Amino acid sequence: MLAWMLLYFVLAAAGTWLARRYALKRDLLDRPDERRSHAVTTPRGGGIAIVAALLVACVALTIRLPDQALLMAAFAAGLVVVAGAGWFDDHRPTSPWVRLGAHAVAATLFAGAILHVFADPWLAGAAAIAILVLVNVWNFMDGINGLAATQTMLVAFALGAFIGGPWTGVALALAAACLGFLPFNFPRAAIFLGDVGSGALGYAVGAITIMASATQSMPWPLLFLPLSTFLVDAGLTLLMRMRRGERWWTAHVQHSYQVWVRSGAGHATVTFVYMAWTLLAILLMLGLRQSSPLFMLCGVVAWYMSSAFAWWLLRRAAQQRVLRNH
């Protein structure tokens, strides 16, 4: 397994280097403006390297475990659809509704395979919802150096350690590929994930989470814990924008991590704090694994309530610093 992880690390690192050369040649650049949190013009599209490494992992695992061929094929097809939509958007911005349609196609492909293999319509429905939600959450939260890639790496590694079977390989391949990408994106960014990367990471995290539930290797309420960092920030910010009557589907800089950066915090500081938040959630997931269902559910609810309160405190303090700075 370590040898395979090293391969995916190298593939992602080499692919990111090539993607940067391509982006510079094709003028695929994110320039600073009022909707972005960076101050330097930076190439985008580096996430294509993570996608390529994951596709190699799918082929290798299918050869080794042909009984997983249908699920692996569906996962790979959905990944290509999501990444392809993002790749086109990185080259020429497209309608968010067109991208959402592509995400729905990818979600349907994987959900259909889940239904065929497990004959469980509830699990298939959960797969479709998880993929649609997490693809867009990862798109929303990919706004500062290292944030989306580090969160994906932590979640994938945590799930990979407990899923068992072939999907451990997929999860650890994702974690290794993110690690190969990170030297180009954190603490300083030589290239961004781009929509090709952020959407693909959300898709992969959603699919792996569903497989963790399908194999019953982890009680399903606990699977919400590693995702809490992004779900809380994205979810509460979305609700806030909807309450204000804003066009919530458009790009903005209103997430708490973005407000914190505007208040003067460095990208690395914010990313490390969000990593610590997720690591604590993973530790709680492990601690609650053997507890009773009621205690487990109470623990998850308490964690989300605490996280929401921490989100509010962070946002309030950061907004006050922004006002003082101006």
3-class DSSP string for 128-191: HHHHHHHHHHHHHHCCCCCHHHHHHHHHHHHHHHHHCCHHHHHHHHHHHHHHHHHHHCCCCCCC
Overall average pLDDT of the 100-107 stretch: 96
Which distant-in-sequence residues (6+ apart) come within 8 Å of 231 by Cβ?
Answer: 137, 224
What is the predicted pLDDT for the residue at 37?
Answer: 67
What is the predicted pLDDT for the residue at 248?
Answer: 74
% of residues, the chain, pLDDT over 70: 98
Interior/surface letters 283-297, b for 16+ CB within 10 angstroms, e for the rest = ebbeebeeeeeeebe
Place 117 in a pLDDT band, splitting at 50, 70 and 90: very high
Note the pLDDT tens digit of each residue in 231-252: 999 999 999 988 888 877 777 7
The CA distances from residue 167 to 45, 54, 68, 83, 133, in Å, are 26, 12, 9, 20, 21
What is the predicted pLDDT for the residue at 35?
Answer: 66
Q: For the whole model, what pTM was predicted? A: 0.94
Place 165 in a pLDDT band, splitting at 50, 70 and 90: confident
pLDDT exceeds cutoff 90 at 62: yes
pLDDT exceeds cutoff 80 at 34: no
Domain count, the chain: 1
What is the predicted pLDDT for the residue at 51?
Answer: 98
pLDDT exceeds cutoff 70 at 281: yes
In the DSSP assignment, the letter for residue 66 is: G
What is the predicted pLDDT for the residue at 46?
Answer: 96
Domain that holds residue 299: 2-325
Which distant-in-sequence residues (6+ apart) come within 8 Å of 306 by Cβ?
Answer: none
Rounded Cα distance, 144 and 70, in Å = 36
Is the separation of the CB atoms in 113 and 207 below 8 Å?
no
